[in-house]
Amino acid sequence: MPGFANLDEVPARPEFAYLLTRKNVTATLIDRMAAKGVKRVLFKSMMLVDEVTLERCKPLGIQTAVASPMTALGGSFH
């Protein structure tokens, strides 16, 4: 599975994103991700996202989860 350092580098319309960014960066990405077609976002921990950003996702139609990939997606992810 490829990773991208910049949202603009993503060639397709991804349905799912796993974010590992600082809170202040994460907040700036939500609207751009919605415009790109992202429907679900996984945040590794509450250290990377705040409640305001999670609430911002709802009206944009983005489902969110805060968990490690192994917990959220199962052991086969790693």
Q: What is the pTM of this model?
A: 0.78
What is 22-70 written as a DSSP string? Answer: -HHHHHHHHHHHHHHT--EEEES-TTS--HHHHHHHGGGT-EEEES-HH
Class of domain 11-72: alpha beta
Task: Quick: pLDDT tens for 25-78.
Answer: 888 899 999 999 999 999 988 888 999 999 999 999 999 999 877 666 666 555
Q: What are the residue ranges spanned by the domains of the chain?
A: 11-72
